[in-house]
Every structure is written in structure tokens, then in C-alpha cells.
Structure 1
């Protein structure tokens, strides 16, 4: 989910036309690079894909299953799995760009990308917009198999649960016993009319949900009055 968060922000800033937008996009790309350096990232996503494929196959002989939809879902998983299993490190093509890697090192230094520290980056920012857009698209492209894998896995996981109506009790806490069932994700929806956010904790026995909000001094305040919300337990 952290990778999904980084990619969403990356795409939002890539669409910007100013050098400042692309500066933020590059900082996000470098964060994704650092995340990919952890060996378990790719293996973890591939394991989730294999688990989802196996679980979907179990539905093949279910009398009410839509086989076309099932085959399409499994096909999507196979597609992203093959792309993600490519040789070498994720984003290897971008890592082989010496100038880009030198720029990455400067991003790690506060203020290290000033025109005094790395004038070539300043010159790049003054280049035509279409050149900058083309370059940054090329640098992001090697990481797209990772984005596709994360997107497909999370999409199927989120769609595996159906929202139900729920609410906290007096004191502001909701509690649900799991009864031995195992879930990979809990989703919560609240009304847009209230600027509140959920805090979720869980173990193999029970899930707790409570809500908080920020006051005018940006201090967290626990909401102790009953709060209605929607809840979904997800597992593939």
C-alpha cells in the first residue's frame, strides 16, 4: 500500500508541466527505487499473485461463477506476474543512467539540488517541456511492472469484501470478533461531512475501530459519541 501511495503521487506530479512538478515526481521516483532495493518487495508481490490465482482457480467449478470474468482475472494476474519476474533489479534500465543516479544522491542532501550544487540539473529544468516529459516518462517506465503488480493485487483484494453498516458504541469503540476467520485487509468508509479518520487495530481474534479528529490546534481528539460507518473485511 505504501508503494501504491508513492505511485499515485508520482503520476499526479508527472502530469504537471512545470519543473517544480517534475522535481517532486523525481523525488518520488527515487523513493520507489529505495523501496525496490528490499528483496522481499518483488517476492512478496509474486507470492500474493500466486495465492490469488490459486484461490480463484478454486471457484472454477462453482455453479454460479462467471467463467469469462474468472479467466480475465487470472489472465491479468498471469500478465503482471510474467512482467514482474523479469531479469535483474526492478528499474534496472533507469539505474544504469549515471546522471540520474548522481541526481538521486543529490536529492538525499537537504538543498543539494540547487543550481550551485548540480548545474546540469538546473539546465535540464530549463529545457523544453516536451524533452523533460519524455525523459521522466522513460525513467518511470522500467518500474511500471511493479505498479501493475501492486495495482492488480490490491484491486482484487479490495473487491473481495462487501461493505456492511457498522457503528461505534458509547465510548467511541467498535469491536468485532473474528471467530477464527483470517483477513488480509479491513476497509472503513465514513461520511465526507465529518473530517474524521479511523484508527484500526486487530489480532487473530478481534478487530477494533475508533475515530479521531484534529482540533484547531492540530491535537488528536478521540470521538466518544456513536459514529456510523461502513466496514469491509477483505481476503483472497
Structure 2
């Protein structure tokens, strides 16, 4: 049975982390496109990622979170059954990321100063703006040999490596906070209590039954309502059956 994992962030910081994580996955996918028209999507994703980095003070969030994880690991190092080698390796990685973050003023700023990217970026915000008559130098680049394009793409993506490393590690820490447990949504609805330590709610459920979860709530409790993908005419669209699924509050 196909299984889907849904993730619902409970704070703006984690929303931004998830957005960046997904954009990096899209960036990896689009960077492998071969045709010139497919390659245009690479720039679209790249500029979306840069826009997000410029709007957010993500560097401060990274430093704060790494500092918290570092203190937690130091505390766990006193536990007699801890894997000292793995803990030491993780601490070393955190120290490295923290050092690099403190040496960097603005994440992604080097790409903002790239002359080629700067010359085409504004047109991508206009619907249908990335046309050959508007950006002949872009289409000249798209006609270059694959090795030339791959070299440039690798250079651009590499300059976002620090952001990717932080997102990958911090999301790994977050997802490992808790394990999945089996629960039941009676009449398609499940309610839980929010604690200060919950930043992300993960759901794992069947993906072939024609329903999906929607989360709502406040700082005290949350509710998960399962909805029909194709609701019947005149119905609210909510599922009335009992649904077994798994949840992890991270």
C-alpha cells in the first residue's frame, strides 16, 4: 500500500526550513535537465531560493539552533551508554557549521553579485519574461555544450552549500525528536495537545484511499481532519470513517 508522509510546521522558522529543503530538492532535480526549455526551470527555482534567503534572517536561526543542539549533545555526553564516537563526530560538524556561519554575513550573497545571474534574474519575476528576444545571452548560454552548463550550475549550487548543510542537519535533528505512534481519527478527526517542544507534526497514512489530512489549531491544541480528495456533490468533503494513521510530534 502506498504511504504518504505529511509534515505540518507549528512555527514560522520550521516553515522556512521546510521551504528551503524542498527548494534544494527541486534544485537538484532541475539541474539535471538537458533540454534548454527544461533548464529554464533551474533558474526559476534558484531565484525563488535566493528571494527566500534575502527576505529571511535565516543565518540567525541557524546559529541559535546549532547552539541549542550543541548544548544538548554536551549534556548527553555524560550519559554512560552514549556512543562517544558518533557524538564527537556530530559535535565536530556543529562546530564547523557554526564557525562558517559566523564568518558569513549574508547567506547566498555571492550569487546576488554574479553578473550573469543578476542580468537575467529580474525577467524571471515577469510571466513569460524569460524569452529569447528578452534574454538572448541566456539562450546563448543554454546552447552551450552540456559540460559548460554543468560546470556553471555546479559553481552556483556549490555557493549555497552552507545553507544546504545547515538545513539537512537541523531537519534531521528535528525529525529524530520523536518516533511514530499508531492512532485513530474517529469519524475522520483527531485532536492532540500542543507542548512547547513541538515544532513539527508528521503524519504517515495511506495514499491510495482518496483522502488527505488538514491540520488546524492554536498554541494549546491542534486538530487533524481528513478530507476526501474528490468530495461528493454538496458534501463538506470531510471523511466520516475511522482512519488509522501514524503521527510523530517533533
- TM beyond 0.5: yes
Q: Mean alpha-carbon deviation: is it higher for 151-160 or for 80-89?
A: 80-89
- The structure with higher relative contact order (CA 8 Å, sep 6+) is 2
Equivalent in the alignment of 1:70? 87
Contact 1:167 1:174 in 2 (8 A): yes
Residues 1:90 and 2:115 aligned together = no
- Residue segments in structure 1 that go unaligned for 5+ positions in a row: none
Residues 1:227 and 2:243 aligned together = yes
Deviation at 1:220, TM superposition (A): 7.8
Equivalent in the alignment of 1:132? 149
TM-score, normalised to structure 2, is 0.85
User: For residues 232 and 109 of structure 1, what CA distance do their matches in structure 2 show?
Assistant: 41
Contact 1:107 1:113 in 2 (8 A): yes
Contact 1:49 1:77 in 2 (8 A): yes
Matched residue of 1:73: which SS?
helix
Residues 1:187 and 2:202 aligned together = yes
User: For residues 126 and 216 of structure 1, what CA distance do their matches in structure 2 show?
Assistant: 47
Q: Output one character per residue of 1:139-163: Cα deviation in whole Å (capped at 9) or x when no partner.
A: 1211110011011000111012111
Q: Mean alpha-carbon deviation: is it higher for 23-32 or for 85-94?
A: 85-94
Residues 1:44 and 2:61 aligned together = yes
Deviation at 1:80, TM superposition (A): 2.4
1:12-31 alignment, distance < 5 Å: 12-31=29-48
- Residue segments in structure 2 that go unaligned for 5+ positions in a row: 1-17
Deviation at 1:181, TM superposition (A): 5.2
Matched residue of 1:58: which SS?
helix
Cα pair distance change 1:108/1:220, threshold 3 Å: farther
* CA RMSD between the two structures: 2.2
Cα pair distance change 1:107/1:185, threshold 3 Å: same
User: Would you identify which runs of 4 or more consecutive aligned residues in structure 1 move more than 3 Å?
Assistant: none
Count of paired positions? 232
TM-score, normalised to structure 1, is 0.89
Cα pair distance change 1:222/1:207, threshold 3 Å: same
Cα pair distance change 1:195/1:151, threshold 3 Å: farther
Equivalent in the alignment of 1:53? 70
Matched residue of 2:224: which SS?
strand
Equivalent in the alignment of 1:151? 168
Equivalent in the alignment of 1:81? 98
Q: Output one character per residue of 1:20-52: Cα deviation in whole Å (capped at 9) or x when no partner.
A: 332111111111111111242111122111112
